[in-house]
Structure 1
Amino acid sequence: MADVAISIKSTLENVTGSKHIYPATFANSGHNYVGYDKTTGKAEAVLVDSVGSFANRIEGELAATGLLPRIAVQVAGRTLSIHELPHRVYDAILRDSELDGQPWRSSTTGEKILASNIDNATALFQYAPLTLLLGGWDSYGGDVFHGAKLARVVSGEIWGRGVSPNFSPINRIRLYFVA
């Protein structure tokens, strides 16, 4: 089967009407530029919305419908759904928790989910369908050849093209103008 992708090029406008946008910021690296020229202060592109951020919003919207199965864990007095955990159903928080007095990975539900793979993903479909949509990797399930590895089916990112970073002297926030 061949890989398939849809790429859409569109002119987007800030919902506030402003010409400024605030792109994604990453720890230890700042903004993700492509072709940044220090002499001119211009870049070919800057990442505005990342694949991970897109996935987080999709998870939030779909979870809010109330149609998804509910697997949750208590952490520091909070109840977190698997849709809020960074690695979904394969997250260490869930891995290190218990279900009905048993370690999660040894529980009936945990065993079914962890036995899922690309050939038989019925338990993931039943208990954690967003893992099938947004991908997941059971890195604790063994070496690189063991443990489920599911590529994301849906992803999205937004890039701003023709950008000029500007610095606000008041608060040092970087503002970007998209050409």
Structure 2
Amino acid sequence: MTTLDLAMLLGACTPGGAATLTSVTELTPAEGEHGGVAPARFVNGRSATYAYEKRFIDGAVAHTVLIDSKGSQLNRVEQEIAVAIADGAEPLASTPRISVEYGDGFVREYDYTLPHRLFDGHIRAGSIDGEPVTRNATYLAARNATTADVRPILELGPTALALGGWDSTRKARQGRYRSVLTGEIIGVLADQGPDATEVPKRGGARVDPVAASVRLPGKQLKALLDDQEAELSAKTIEKIQKEIKAAGSGTVSASMLGLGAIPPSLTGLGLVACSRIIRSHVVSFSALRQLRFGGGPEADAACRALLVSYALAGLARADSALDLRANCNLREAGPTRVSIDARHGHSVDLEPLSVEQADALLTAAIDRAREVAGIRWDGQVFEVLGNEVIVDHADADAED
């Protein structure tokens, strides 16, 4: 079986080359086929639900559930890239990046850990040398870049080009770049009622070995609240204060402060049974070929190959990690099937990339982009000082 190499990528990144590279893996519950899995949850009105869809599976229409969305899969790629960079693992540690530092014990964040990447609000609200970052020439060049020349982004925050970015709040000249890597995990549902969307309820409880119930007079509960107020959310404080006021001279449950037991109740969404679980990813060379980097066709192909190699290095790590959420422990049921489009209905089967192979491919792509395009890819960090007003008014319980 053919191993993906830089020459193949360069060919795919040149006009007339392949449209896509596709990776598909059959997964299964770690417990075996009897195991249920917890799909991704979504809010529908005021209640939680799962995303059900009809798909073609082996030529027939089937009821499926979304176990992990495109956005979540890309976040997992970013997370693995962030870990590799933090560990100093080359070649990913050489990735250009933007940092936002708030200080006072807050963890430094980077464009690849922030939701809107290069254009994230935390970056735009920050400053450099006392001046707003939005007035900085380097950052402004990246914001003003277009697909005709995105080199300023490639050397500042390339994750936005590989995994997508949109400068959505800007009044004009909004940068909008689609992700060249997409992916999802779906489950083919077993029998779950006539419309295949009946999910059993699952219960939860809390055991307190000290006291099954703790009810306190309002004054005493208020004293406990005052002791912990600095570490509680505004929403929790407000709710407890209302309970105390409503109780008058009576007692109030201290459960909101984590005291006392909570009896079992069947109120949560349960697990789903799947006959098959399928993970798929697609790299779009067609999307990559819309990007130019100001150096001519050979340089453009090298920069595109660099971006796709960067994405594949993160994907190789995310696929091997396979960490989704509680009650969704999966393992690979068979080998990953990888193929690259060969045009006119043909494709070439490829060997799945290991982390080591993906890193070697990225190293070769970096060297090529440096050689023919003069790209600076040396782990440079564009440091932004975060606006303290944001963290001073952060609220973990905010509904929006």
TM-score, normalised via structure 1 length: 0.82
Provide the residue aligned with 1:19 in structure 2: 35
Counterpart among 109, 125, 146 of residue 154 in structure 2: 125
Bigger relative contact order (CA 8 A; separation at least 6)? 2
Q: Distance in 2 between matches of 1:55 and 1:74?
A: 24
Counterpart among 44, 49, 54 of residue 63 in structure 2: 44
| Cα distance change on mapping 1:14 and 1:99 into 2, 3 Å | farther
**Tell me, what secondary structure is at the counterpart of 2:26?**
coil
**Which residue type is aligned with residue 48 of structure 1?**
I
Q: Is the 8 A contact 2:82 2:113 kept in 1?
A: no
Aligned ranges 1:71-150 → 2 under 5 Å: 71-75=98-102, 77-143=106-172, 146-150=173-177
The alpha carbon displacement at 1:102 in A equals 1.4
Counterpart among 155, 159, 184 of residue 157 in structure 1: 184
Provide the residue aligned with 2:74 in structure 1: 55
Is 2:195 aligned against 1:166? Answer: no
The alpha carbon displacement at 1:58 in A equals 0.8
**Tell me, what secondary structure is at the counterpart of 2:140?**
helix
Q: Is the 8 A contact 2:188 2:274 kept in 1?
A: yes
Q: Distance in 1 between matches of 2:23 and 2:138?
A: 40
**Which residue type is aligned with residue 129 of structure 1?**
P
Runs of 4+ in 1 over 4 A off after TM superposition: 5-10
**Tell me, what secondary structure is at the counterpart of 1:78?**
coil
Q: Distance in 1 between matches of 2:155 and 2:161?
A: 10
Consecutive unaligned residues of structure 1, counting only runs of 5 or more, are: 36-42
The alpha carbon displacement at 1:8 in A equals 5.7
**Tell me, what secondary structure is at the counterpart of 1:128?**
coil
Q: Distance in 1 between matches of 2:274 and 2:163?
A: 29
Provide the residue aligned with 1:64 in structure 2: 83
**Which residue type is aligned with residue 120 of structure 1?**
D
- Deviations 1:97-140 (Å, cap 9, x if unpaired)? 11221111111221121122211111111111111111111123
Q: Distance in 1 between matches of 2:52 and 2:64?
A: 6
Q: Is the 8 A contact 2:111 2:159 kept in 1?
A: no
TM-score, normalised via structure 2 length: 0.39
Q: Distance in 1 between matches of 2:130 and 2:147?
A: 29
The alpha carbon displacement at 1:46 in A equals 0.7
Supply the RMSD in Å over aligned alpha carbons.
2.5
The structure richer in helix per residue is: 2
The alpha carbon displacement at 1:75 in A equals 4.0
**Which residue type is aligned with residue 88 of structure 1?**
R
The alpha carbon displacement at 1:10 in A equals 4.8
The alpha carbon displacement at 1:11 in A equals 3.2
The alpha carbon displacement at 1:79 in A equals 1.5
| Cα distance change on mapping 1:11 and 1:70 into 2, 3 Å | closer
- Deviations 1:16-59 (Å, cap 9, x if unpaired)? 54621111112335211125xxxxxxx81110011111111111
| Cα distance change on mapping 1:5 and 1:23 into 2, 3 Å | farther
State, as a whole percentage, how many aligned pairs show the same letter: 28
Q: Distance in 1 between matches of 2:271 and 2:39?
A: 9
Q: Distance in 1 between matches of 2:24 and 2:78?
A: 24
Consecutive unaligned residues of structure 2, counting only runs of 5 or more, are: 1-14, 55-61, 86-92, 193-198, 205-265, 276-400
